[in-house]
Each structure stands twice: as C-alpha cells, then as structure tokens.
Amino acid sequence: NAGVTQTPKFQVLKTGQSMTLQCAQDMNHNSMYWYRQDPGMGLRLIYYSASEGTTDKGEVPNGYNVSRLNKREFSLRLESAAPSQTSVYFCASSERRLAGEQYFGPGTRLTVT
Amino acid sequence: AQKITQTQPGMFVQEKEAVTLDCTYDTSDQSYGLFWYKQPSSGEMIFLIYQGSYDEQNATEGRYSLNFQKARKSANLVISASQLGDSAMYFCAMNALSYIPTFGRGTSLIVHP
C-alpha cells in the first residue's frame, strides 16, 4: 500500500502560470482533502470532497479549483499562480468524515516568484 | 464558528519525562471528533490519537493519552516517557459534521537528552 501519494514534490512557478497538483490514495477512502501549510498558521483547508462526485470549499478556496476524478484521485489546480500561493500543500484522505483520522501525503512545496 | 487554540508555541522536556501539550476547542456541534497529529522535521503528518465527543474514557495509544475535559472544552495531549524522536510539531484538530476540519497552529516540542 502506497497510502496517499502526491506529485510533484517540488515546483517553482512564475506569477500567472497554471499547474495541477495530483493526489491519489489506495485505501478506498471516501473523503479527500487539500490543505496548505504556512509558517505559524497550521493547516488550512482549501477544498474537500466528502465522497466521490462531491466537492466543497474550505477555509481558503480563492484562487484554487479541484476535481474529484474518481474515488482514488483528487486534484488541485492553480489557474493563475500568485506569490501568496507560495506554501506547502498537503493532500489527505479519511474513511469517514467525522470520526476518521486523516492520512496525509508527503506534501508539495510550491514557490511562486 | 469552530476553532482550535494551541497556546504553547514551544515546549521543552527532558528525555524520559512526561509532557502535556494544551488544546482548547470551540464548537456548537454536539457530535465531534478530536485528533492529534505529529509533524517531524521531515515534514510528514502522522496521526497519533483520536477522541470522540461521546467517548466516556480518555483515549490512549501507547505513550500517548488524550486528557479530554468536555465541560472545559479541552483535549490535551500527554506524552509519557519522552524520547528524542518525539521532537516535532504537534497539531490538535477537530472534525464536526456542521464544520470543515479545523487545525490549531501547532506546538513545537523539543526533547532534551
């Protein structure tokens, strides 16, 4: 079992460029999440998908879009990157939304110049 | 609104001693889950322990225990017999059906030999 995988691990973008962060889980989990982690801010939820076919906004959704491609895959897209989106991005999954612990991917370190 | 507060930015403990990391929460939901995660310097997020709002017993997982005081809305993590490998960031988090998953800003724990 690979758990939760994310690609890429590192990325540098110029302002205005677009990119998609990929996430996949092999644990047959229903719920998937995208977070960003900034120094001193903990993790903030960008978007989540409670189950296949549904997506909802989190705390900081502006500038991002998501796609729940199937039960395994949940991608995060930056349409026009801004320096404020420089962060570490984590994908996570859980079996149940309320009581289920989240399993995290290794993270993507994104720098926007 | 739902909120997690971790008031200790940094904590120090001697190896083999016990340490308590504080977490208070605020939610209007009656049913919720409380979680603690560890983030070592390598960056991955690791689930440690879970407490449900209706659980009468405090959760324990090996050297980790969660001191759950519902009336005070606190969910402190107790690490017994600290080890050098416990040095990391620790995050308290909460799930509730009416709200998105919420993380605290974290506590940095350093274990001294």
Task: Report the distance separating Cα A90 and Cα A88, nearest Å.
Answer: 7
Measured over the CA atoms of residue B95, residue B99, residue B100 and residue B102, the dihedral's sign is negative
Residues 6+ apart with CB under 8 A from B42: none
Nearest to A45 among B32, B37, B101 (CB): B101
Q: Would you call B40 an interface residue with chain A, using a CB distance cutoff of 8 Å?
A: no
What's the pLDDT at A1? 72
Average pLDDT, rounded, for chain A: 94
Mean local confidence (pLDDT), A84-90: 97
What's the confidence (pLDDT) of residue B98? 76
- Secondary structure of chain A in HEC code, one letter for each residue: CCCEEEECCEEEECCCCCEEEEEEECCCCCEEEEEEECCCCCEEEEEEECCCCCCEECCCCCCEEEEECCCCEEEEEECCCCHHHCEEEEEEEECCCCCCCCEECCCEEEEEC
- pLDDT value of residue B96: 86
**Tokens found for residue A77:** 């897209």
3-state secondary structure of B84: helix
Q: Please, which pLDDT band fits residue A100 given cuts at 50, 70 and 90? A: confident
Residue A98 has pLDDT above 90, yes or no: no
Q: Do B101 and A41 touch (CB under 8 A)?
A: no
Residue of A nearest to B53 (CA): A99
- Chains A, B: CB pairs < 8 Å: 57
Low-confidence ranges of chain B (pLDDT < 70): none
B44 contact A CB<8A: yes
Contact A65, A74 (CB under 8 A): no
Q: pLDDT band at A99, cuts 50/70/90?
A: low
pLDDT bin (cut points 50, 70, 90) of residue A2 is confident
